[in-house]
Amino acid sequence: MRDVSVDPQRLAELLHGQAPVRPAQGEMSQHLSAWLRDDRGGLVEAPTGTGKSLVLLAAALDWVRAHPENQAIIATHTRQLQSQLAYDVQELSERGLAVLGTQADLVKGASNRLSLRALTLELADATDPDQRRQTPRELREFLIFLLARLVSARRLTEQWEALSVDTVDVPMVFAHPSPSRLAGWLHRLSQREHGEFTADHAFVASLHTDRVAEALASGRIVIANHALLLAHRGDIAERAERAERLAIFVDEAHDLEGAATEALSLTFDYQDLERIPRAIRRLVRECPKHPALERADQAADRLERYLVTRTMPAAANDALDQLSETGAALGQRAATLASPYSGRRISRPTEALRAGLERAIRDLTHLHRCLAAYAGDPEGLDRAGRWAAERFFAASALVVDQESAVGPIVSALDEVLGSRRR
């Protein structure tokens, strides 16, 4: 560590002109500097308004200045604090700390990070005479907004917002008349659903993208949230084992338990399953004929015929009706389907939902194998055109995401309730 530390009081003055001296802020700063110098962790408790965020930012600046390979991650819990910290970084970079403009990055998770692959493919569908009828006018307008925001972004916060598909970063005019419809659009455009362009110097668009893990690894000062930190705990732990010079500052640490529960919970979205057959059909239309794609098309057709029956949503509603707490509002109900503390007695709705999940994972696994066979055959993916290949990668990302979401739920039910005969 350098002998001269960044003073959080000076950062406050750069932001606000005049700022009251806060002794507690200086004391926190001294403790963090000592902990970083001695390579050990610590815990600070301070009331709201003490200036903790600027103390953390000052400590992060100290850390990255100390060695060219040092990196700092500042993790917050609330979106409001994350946005405020991002705004402070932008203002400081424009008022004398230009280094922040090149070294800081606001990183959101794959569910809230824009996929340029998804945006490109959606724009292609929206302008294709044979497909645009399936793209609502409101969605076409939203796609144009996202593209315009992306190419016109100049300031730091504008650039970060342009890469976001978080509802808080989108004008609410697009939520009218249905907020749930907007949420569905945003999810369709996320890296979680469609992945992202792979690095390819021959493909210009790929040079402007990065996945979440890449963004976490490349930024010198990364602003993230607790859930993202926990979701990538494996990558972070691996880097720590390799003795990489990484400092993690966790703000609002009292909310870590809730973030851990959210990040480590097994979840899947039924609407994502419903999108798979359409994605596979579009892929089959755009690629040269191949036996593996024909099998994938048949598997997608079976999955769609099953999903049309709405068996799983009906079973989920029955389970909530039977097992959730009395008086819980619709949309906010929760139920325990299985627990090692409640024995192995299985309700009829639980059994129906479990059977539906097992059916889904069989179809997803078969689809995955078909797509893998197509990719591994020299007469398959290698012969597809550039955009057909991108359709393949997008459809594969959707299938793998759902397989990795549903599979662990089925395994957890088997572990608690015992395996069913299949």
Per-residue model confidence as pLDDT tens digits over 297-336:
999 999 999 999 988 888 888 888 887 777 767 666 777 7
Higher confidence at residue 207 or residue 154? 154
Tell me the range of 90-104, 314-328, 354-368 where mean pLDDT is highest.
354-368
- Are 221 and 53 within 8 A, CB to CB? no
When pLDDT is averaged across residues 1-19 and rounded to a whole number, the result is 81
Per-residue model confidence as pLDDT tens digits over 255-264:
888 888 877 7
What pLDDT, on the 0 to 100 scale, is given for residue 243? 55
What pLDDT, on the 0 to 100 scale, is given for residue 1? 46
pLDDT band for position 129 (cuts 50, 70, 90): confident
Q: Within its chain, how far is the Cα of 348 from the centroid? A: 34
Higher confidence at residue 170 or residue 341? 170
What pLDDT, on the 0 to 100 scale, is given for residue 331? 66
Q: How far apart, in whole angstroms, are the C-alpha atoms of residue 145 and residue 142? A: 5
This prediction's pTM: 0.84
User: Got the DSSP string for 95-122?
Assistant: TT-THHHHHEEE---GGGBB-HHHHHHH
**Residue ranges of domains in the chain, CATH in brackets:** 67-265 (no CATH), 267-325+337-417 (1.20.120)
What pLDDT, on the 0 to 100 scale, is given for residue 297? 97
Q: How many CB atoms lie within 10 A of CB 243?
A: 7
When pLDDT is averaged across residues 376-394 and rounded to a whole number, the result is 93
When pLDDT is averaged across residues 355-366 and rounded to a whole number, the result is 94
DSSP state of 172: G
Q: How far apart, in whole angstroms, are the C-alpha atoms of residue 125 and residue 280? A: 14
Per-residue model confidence as pLDDT tens digits over 168-216:
999 999 998 889 899 999 999 999 888 999 877 777 777 778 888 888 8
What pLDDT, on the 0 to 100 scale, is given for residue 338? 75
When pLDDT is averaged across residues 8-36 and rounded to a whole number, the result is 89
Nearest Cα neighbor of 297 from 272, 276, 273, 269 is 276
Rounded CA Rg of the chain: 24
Higher confidence at residue 2 or residue 215? 215
